[in-house]
Amino acid sequence: MRRLTRTVAAAALAATLALVAGCSGDDKSDAGGGDGKALQKVTYLTSFGNFGRDSYAWVAKEKGFFKEAGFDVEIKPGQGTGMVIQTVVGGQADFGPIDLTGGLLQLGNGAAKDFVAVAAIQQRTMAAVVSVEGKNIATPKDLEGKKLADTQTSVVRLLFPTYARLAGVDASKVTFVNGEAQTLMGMLGAGTVDGIGQFVVGQPTVQAVTKKKPVVLPYSDVMTDLYGNALITSSKLAKEKPEMVKRFTAALLRGLAYALANPQEAADLLKKNVAATVPAAAAAELQLMAAYVRSSNSGTAIGTLDSERVAKSIALLQGAGALKTTITPDQIIDFSLTPKA
């Protein structure tokens, strides 16, 4: 399994380096660094706290990928899809990853606008409810009567009513309480809640914090074709500085590919920047994430987004009654800026 993961990650790195090389001929009118201009300051949000799954941003910074692309990047911890969208649209950050399905829900229900996705981080959703042994949770139906914790704007929480409906769960019998990205696992370990909103790759960190074996209920078991995280920026920045967006995207994806190919080094770089990191757990998260970053179609380049797949996701959400308005893939993705398959 480890050999397969390394092979997949190596292929991702090769594809991304080719992407970066392909971008080298882009217009550099707003570039910095390499041509003697000052580096352009950029603020980037992680998707959800400071865990191994988001370490690729620190890799891009520490390995000089951002600097080579002309950027001085400040990395700040995000608190889930809704918060990342609000912060990017509000101008307090330039880029950040959100769960694409959560973005569709936010856009289609009028909770957010003026943002666009420019690259996929994961080709499949990693959203899940995570519990631990001893909570009498083995199937989605077992969530009824239980208390779950999550941030208010996490995709796990936003998407839960749809997941529950498709999984045969009475969502009215499940209680959600608020938590922060960095404290959810502690709440689970302390026994104050029965489960938490989490990504499936969080299993090693959950076990390290709670000292118990995780029980994972992946949303992908009942909702296929959903993308995982996607990199977003504001519609304004995408329109006014498209080449800058392409350069940043290429540098970030280069960091992603490197992190997957070198999970322990990526974990160590995260530890260097985030003292609370448990390197072994962070590296294990990256090893698990590798299978989600690459599509099942081996020829699909890292970071690509497919309009037909997004349309299927929209149709699934509409069929479940989760969207108030009809939307199209072009309303949430700027395909002129995404990596090409």
Domains of the chain: 2-124+226-332 (3.40.190.10), 128-221 (3.40.190.10)
What's the angle, vertex CA 165, arms to CA 161 and CA 171, rounded to 5?
50
Q: Which residues contact 64 (CB under 8 A, 6 or more apart)?
A: none
User: Among 121-130, 170-179, 186-195, 297-306, which is the least confidently predicted range?
Assistant: 297-306
Encode pLDDT of 182-221 as tens digits: 899 999 999 999 999 999 999 999 999 999 999 999 999 9
Contact (Cβ atoms closer than 8 angstroms) between residue 267 and residue 286: yes
Q: What's the order of all strands across the beta sheet hosting 229-234?
A: 71-76, 40-45, 95-99, 229-234, 115-120
CA dihedral angle for residue 30, residue 31, residue 32, residue 35, rounded to 10 degrees: -120
Rg of the chain, C-alpha, whole Å: 19
Instruction: Provide the β-strand partners of residue 44.
Output: 75, 95
Encode pLDDT of 251-309 as tens digits: 999 999 999 999 999 999 999 999 999 999 999 999 999 999 986 555 578 999 999 99
Backbone angles phi, psi at 140, to 5 degrees: -55, -40
pTM above 0.85, yes or no: no
CA dihedral angle for residue 312, residue 216, residue 286, residue 49, rounded to 10 degrees: 90
